[in-house]
Amino acid sequence: MSHFVAMTTIVGTAGSGDAPWWQTAVIYHVYPRSFMDTDGDGVGDLPGVTSRLEYLVGLGVDAVWLSPFYRSPMVDFGYDVTDHCDVDPLFGTLADVDELIARAHQLGLRVVLDFVPNHTSDQHRWFVEARSSRQHPRRDWYVWSDPAPGGGVPNNWRSEFGGPAWTLDEATGQYYYHAYLSEQPNLNWHHPDVRRAMFDVLRFWLHRGVDGFRLDAFRRLYVDLSFPDEPENAAYDPAVDNESFAVVPIHTSEQPELFDTVTELRRWIDGLGDHVLIGEIYLGVEPLMRYHGTAERPGLHLAGNFNLLWTNWDADSIADLVTAYESALPGHAWPNWVLGNHDRSRIASRVGERQARVAAMFLLTVRGTPTIYYGDELGMSDVDITPDAVQDPWEKNVPGKGFGRDPVRTPMPWDLSDHAGFSTVAPWLPLGPDHERRNVERQRDDPTSMLTLHRRLIELRRTVPALALGAIDAVVAVEGVLVYRRHVDQQQVFVLLEMAGRPVTIHMDSLLGTDALPAVEGIDAIEILMSTALDRQGVEGTAVALRADEGLVIGLLHAATPGH
Ligand code: NOJ
């Protein structure tokens, strides 16, 4: 076929009938500050999450992962922890976590916590002790260096949030390393006591019944303690790039010890039950694969695949991405896909409202575990934050360059009451300007809303095994349409996603039997199982007329197909 612009016969293999829960699950990411406020302080809390679990059940998701709620001075809104085993009063109490877990489990939902192993708050007792004297036994729990020979920072390591990754502790005359804010000193994972302490944290939460962990900043746990300069990054453009991009982090990420820790963690947690470890790993396809380990030494259950966050949203680019990712995944590994999170621009803002529906169909029909970021199921977009309303420390450090994350963390709009039912007072970040139109109450019973689309797609995934566990192949971009097949046993479905914003007709009979789909016999008709517009279903001829920005899940009907 001349109009194939990308084609592959790669096969992401089908999962098995007794697949672990995290392979068939749809994960929902809650940012607790912004989900539901029950104590009237304008900030979401744990009882708030518990009170909305039934909503998640209605949506059809299987697991909820919660960004941090641990004790924290909140300089980085909970990613600066002072006690990994306690709850910040802003969010509630340990009893509230217990209740959340118990209620979730009653409702059949799994609970995944955000584990922050890379750093603590500078207010953490461990760091307070470590900085109290060079001789303190806790000193080496963190990463210290003398100043450079002529004075000043020890080397060129950069902080993610702007500036050097070193801060001088004047009292003891040494610098400490922090991959993020100076209020977030890095733990020294080379130290066996640190590793033990952090495993204890995991044990603490496992005993309370959680089902797994998302591992924050996981690439960075170990650094080269001889502190060599990082190489300069030739691709760095100071006009647009984050300053940390000026160097290539070969001495502060992916150190060899990390992969021993991955194996140790995986073996340990698998020995304790049916849990999941999800790595936060911002990497392209090839380098990401290391985190999957090998069949003999498996890595993380899910190595966070964030490639959709920076890949161009068009059929060719996404076909190439799926092909590259599926081809690179080792046989024992399981894929996963993320469209958005609390650190990156929302999908509706990146691709527009119409394509956001197509993106939802992609996320929920491509092979692998999907993660939905709260509010994306309503089509929420990034919200403009005026300079006086800025909360995010990154935006405060590096203003005006678009790094701020407040726009993607605005409150969940639940209903038409004051403050959209999120709180009884003005929330910590403003509601989106469209909250009166875009909220759960408005969308819940609307048969074609974004929320209904998500619910229906998740339902379809449940009822069509090929979508949950089937193999993927025939990934092609044809005339601006992304096409792929999912199949298991005798069941096969196709997904057709119009991504160029123009109507197009795809002739399924001429696609089939070609190099893209050698194994599929000619067909007599297709059956539309779902359209992103949620307005058509049923049997049609073999020419599929897609409207602009429409996605379809279709089945193929042969003359012999029962019922045809
Ligand atoms: C990644 C988290 O997702 C982000 O929100 C946080 O600021 C950094 N890690 C530091 O913990």
49 pLDDT exceeds 90?
A: yes
Closest atom of ligand 1 to 116 CA is 11
**Ligand 1 pocket, residue 343 CB under 6 Å:** yes
Task: Please tell me whether residue 485 adopts helix, strand or coil conformation.
Answer: strand
In a domain, 369, yes or no: yes
Taking residues 37-57, report their average pLDDT.
Answer: 98
- Tell me the two tokens of residue 59: 């949506």
Longest CA–CA separation in the chain, Å: 82
CA of 96 to the centre of ligand 1 (A): 24
Domain count, the chain: 2
Q: Whose CA is nearest to atom 9 of ligand 1?
A: 217
Taking residues 76-94, report their average pLDDT.
Answer: 98
**Ligand 1 pocket, residue 216 CB under 6 Å:** yes
Mutate to test the pocket of ligand 1, among 216, 282, 309 (most ligand atoms within 8 A of CB): 216
Does residue 378 sit in the same domain as residue 419?
Answer: yes
CA of 30 to the centre of ligand 1 (A): 14
**Ligand 1 pocket, residue 179 CB under 6 Å:** no
DSSP label at residue 341:
-
In a domain, 453, yes or no: yes
Closest atom of ligand 1 to 118 CA is 11
Compute how many other C-beta atoms are within 10 angstroms of the C-beta atom of residue 216. Answer: 19
**Ligand 1 pocket, residue 282 CB under 6 Å:** no
> What does the mean pLDDT of the chain come to?
94
Mutate to test the pocket of ligand 1, among 343, 344, 398 (most ligand atoms within 8 A of CB): 343
- Tell me the two tokens of residue 316: 């060719």
11 pLDDT exceeds 60?
A: no
Does residue 171 sit in the same domain as residue 197?
Answer: no
Q: What are the φ and ψ backbone dihedral angles of 298, each rounded to 5 degrees?
A: -65, 150
**Ligand 1 pocket, residue 115 CB under 6 Å:** no
In a domain, 34, yes or no: yes
In this predicted structure, what is the pLDDT of residue 17? 67
Closest atom of ligand 1 to 80 CA is 11
- Tell me the two tokens of residue 384: 């403009």
Does residue 311 sit in the same domain as residue 392?
Answer: yes
522 pLDDT exceeds 70?
A: no
Tell me the angle at which helices 192-207 and 256-270 cross, rounded to the nearest 10 degrees: 30
Report the CATH number at residue 46: 3.20.20.80
Does residue 316 sit in the same domain as residue 436?
Answer: yes
Q: How far apart are CA 329 and CA 321, in angstroms?
A: 12
Does residue 147 sit in the same domain as residue 269?
Answer: no
In this predicted structure, what is the pLDDT of residue 261? 97
In this predicted structure, what is the pLDDT of residue 8? 35
4 pLDDT exceeds 70?
A: no
562 pLDDT exceeds 50?
A: no
**Ligand 1 pocket, residue 217 CB under 6 Å:** yes
Q: Residues 458, 30, 201, CA angle at the centre, nearest 5°?
A: 120
Report the CATH number at residue 151: 3.90.400.10
Q: Whose CA is nearest to atom 10 of ligand 1?
A: 79
Mutate to test the pocket of ligand 1, among 77, 114, 159, 180 (most ligand atoms within 8 A of CB): 180
355 pLDDT exceeds 60?
A: yes
Q: Whose CA is nearest to atom 4 of ligand 1?
A: 343
By CB atoms closer than 10 A (0-12, 13-18, 19+), residue 238 is exposed
Does residue 94 sit in the same domain as residue 134?
Answer: no
Mutate to test the pocket of ligand 1, among 29, 30, 70, 76 (most ligand atoms within 8 A of CB): 76
By CB atoms closer than 10 A (0-12, 13-18, 19+), residue 2 is exposed
CA of 67 to the centre of ligand 1 (A): 9
Q: Whose CA is nearest to atom 11 of ligand 1?
A: 79
**Ligand 1 pocket, residue 79 CB under 6 Å:** yes
Does residue 98 sit in the same domain as residue 132?
Answer: no
- Which amino acid is residue 362, in one-letter code? F
pLDDT band at 1 (very low <50, low <70, confident <90, very high): very low
The pTM for the full model equals 0.96
241 is catalytic: no
In this predicted structure, what is the pLDDT of residue 508? 86
- Tell me the two tokens of residue 60: 């059809």
In this predicted structure, what is the pLDDT of residue 564? 39
In a domain, 112, yes or no: yes
CA of 326 to the centre of ligand 1 (A): 27
Q: Which member of 96, 280, 382, 473 is catalytic?
A: 280
In a domain, 323, yes or no: yes
Does residue 164 sit in the same domain as residue 261?
Answer: no
In a domain, 328, yes or no: yes
Of 30-44, 169-183, 238-252, 416-430, the least confident: 238-252
CA of 234 to the centre of ligand 1 (A): 26
**Ligand 1 pocket, residue 74 CB under 6 Å:** no
- Asked if residues 64 and 51 have their Cβ atoms less than 8 Å apart, the reply is no
By CB atoms closer than 10 A (0-12, 13-18, 19+), residue 189 is buried
Range of the domain at 142: 125-177
**Ligand 1 pocket, residue 77 CB under 6 Å:** no
Does residue 290 sit in the same domain as residue 431?
Answer: yes
Taking residues 397-410, report their average pLDDT.
Answer: 94
Closest atom of ligand 1 to 79 CA is 11
Q: Ramachandran region of residue 423, left (φ > 0), alpha (ψ -120 to 50) or beta?
A: beta
Does residue 109 sit in the same domain as residue 129?
Answer: no
Question: Which of 108, 143, 177 finishes a domain?
Answer: 177
**Ligand 1 pocket, residue 91 CB under 6 Å:** no
pLDDT band at 518 (very low <50, low <70, confident <90, very high): low
Q: Whose CA is nearest to atom 5 of ligand 1?
A: 343
Does residue 376 sit in the same domain as residue 442?
Answer: yes
Q: Which of 227, 281, 279 is nearest to 250 (CA)?
A: 227
**Ligand 1 pocket, residue 180 CB under 6 Å:** yes
Q: Ramachandran region of residue 293, left (φ > 0), alpha (ψ -120 to 50) or beta?
A: left
In a domain, 464, yes or no: no
314 is catalytic: no
Q: How far apart are CA 175 and CA 484, in angstroms?
A: 52
10 pLDDT exceeds 60?
A: no
Does residue 282 sit in the same domain as residue 368?
Answer: yes
In a domain, 542, yes or no: no
CA of 376 to the centre of ligand 1 (A): 20
CA of 323 to the centre of ligand 1 (A): 29
Q: pLDDT (tens digit, 9 = 90+) per residue, 480-498?
A: 999 999 999 888 899 999 9
In this predicted structure, what is the pLDDT of residue 490? 81
Q: Which of 430, 436, 446, 433 is nearest to 414 (CA)?
A: 436
250 pLDDT exceeds 70?
A: yes
Residues 6+ apart with CB under 8 A from 445: none
Q: Which member of 88, 216, 392, 473 is catalytic?
A: 216
CA of 352 to the centre of ligand 1 (A): 26
CA of 181 to the centre of ligand 1 (A): 10
In this predicted structure, what is the pLDDT of residue 9? 37
CA of 51 to the centre of ligand 1 (A): 26
